[in-house]
Amino acid sequence: MVTTSVNLRHFSFSTALCAAGLLLSALSPGGAAASGYEFDGVGARAIARGGAVIADAADWTGIYWNPANLAEVNRREAGLELKAGKSYSRDGNSFNIDTDADGYGNGNVFSKKKSDSGFFFGSAGSVVPLDESSALGVGVYLPLLQGARFSDDQPLNAAVNSIEYEGSAAIAVGNVSYARKLTERFTGAAGVNVVYGRLKSDMTLDYTLILPGPIVVGPDVLKRKLDGSGYGVEAVFGGKYELTDRLYAGAVFRSGTSVKLKGEAEASSTNLGSEKTDFEFTLRQPPTSGIGLAWKDGGRVTFTCDFTQTWWKGFSNATKFETQGTLLTDTPNTFSWKNSYKLRAGALWNYSERTDFMAGYAYDTPAIDGKSIDFSSAIDVPMHRFSGAVSRRWGNFEGTLAGLLGYNSRNTEGVNYRLGGWYFISEGKYRF
């Protein structure tokens, strides 16, 4: 019988963490970190325009896009947005398990190469004008609310029998922002984001245990569970300048924050016993920056374009356990991520007094290094996203229905990774 040594010291929290998809993103085309991860934003109308609204998001969604836009809201309003869809991913190597000591997950012992995942999440917010030149905005949005499942009982190696994995990850952001017109043409704004993160996972691996020697111990079942959460705070700044009567420029910056995820981890092995201890993982919510332009023809059409950047460099998957053992051992950082950027473009056509049509496109680059990519970390590819929507107004209420489609692939070290998906967005907004 062919046997493989499964490195228990490295098949640890980082694998479970990545498989849960925490890394600030979902596997959907509109999830949350770079490319396959990058959060598409808040609001059906804004997302339908490719998210190119940094200089033109004068409603409750300005809490995310650019709080300076809140000062242009002249009536109290509240909005709610819901998203639902599905993503599809393909990894030419399937789910990875570490079979050596480098911690990168080089052992491709499973045959399953495709995975899919459904998702449902949303956002809500409101704006209250304080006077003719200032406003206060509040809101909550979910950059990530994602579940991940992987199972395979047809491994490529006789030493591994099966794997069962189920994990979930969530990131929620609460925002309070204040905007004020400082001059006739310039508006400034500042806000605070409270970031909450949670990770939960459950993994069972049926394999043949080999101890150093090598000595074949025999059949073994490794089980791992973990559940952790934490909070962080980041600052948000925005500005908007009226270049001409038709051309506007906007800018936004989020400082990022470090969220300490703390919780309990436990592991058990048929041959090595069981362990239970607290763990700590530092989730680095990366800083983000963006600039944008909006041109209005003075009538019914608005064209916009944005450039944004996410400062992923320095993101780490290092994990610390309060009490180390054979199954739960501190792991170093194995990531070498790079900063990513996104290009966005959109158009809005005011078809009539009550109806608007919108369309948009977005493209963003990968952030994750090649050695970190697989089902056990989540696929990161350069993404193309196409979107569109229609809005209709009935008195003080406005309803919007939008859709988004995203896809692309990436070849890294001779392996092909593909990611695609879709979702529908509904948004309701009421003005008081």
Partnered with residue 51 across adjacent β-strands are: none
CA distance linking residue 306 with residue 7, whole number of Å: 45
Lookup: tokens for 75: 């009536």
Q: Give the pLDDT score at 186.
A: 98
Q: How does pLDDT run across 162-180, given as a tens digit for each residue? A: 888 888 878 899 999 999 9
Lookup: tokens for 354: 């009550």
Bond preceding residue 286 cis, omega within 30 of 0? no
Q: Give the pLDDT score at 376.
A: 64
Cβ distance 412 to 91 under 8 Å? no
Partnered with residue 8 across adjacent β-strands are: none
Tell me how far the alpha carbon of residue 150 is from its chain's centroid: 19
* Dihedral sign (CA 109, 100, 219, 331): negative
Torsion of CA 429, 234, 196, 37, to 10 degrees: 80
Q: Give the pLDDT score at 362.
A: 96
CA distance linking residue 340 with residue 186, whole number of Å: 29
* Dihedral sign (CA 95, 368, 409, 291): positive
Q: Give the pLDDT score at 317.
A: 82
Q: Give the pLDDT score at 214.
A: 63
Q: Give the pLDDT score at 216.
A: 64
Q: What is the pTM of this model?
A: 0.86
Domains parsed from the chain with CATH numbers: 13-431 (2.40.160.60)
Cα-based distances in Å from 231 to 21, 207, 260, 265, 368: 18, 37, 7, 19, 24
Sorted by sequence, the CB contacts under 8 Å of residue 395 that are 6+ apart come out as none
| Cα end-to-end distance, the chain, whole Å | 73
Where the chain has pLDDT below 50, the residues are 1-37, 99-106
| Length of the chain in terms of residues written | 432
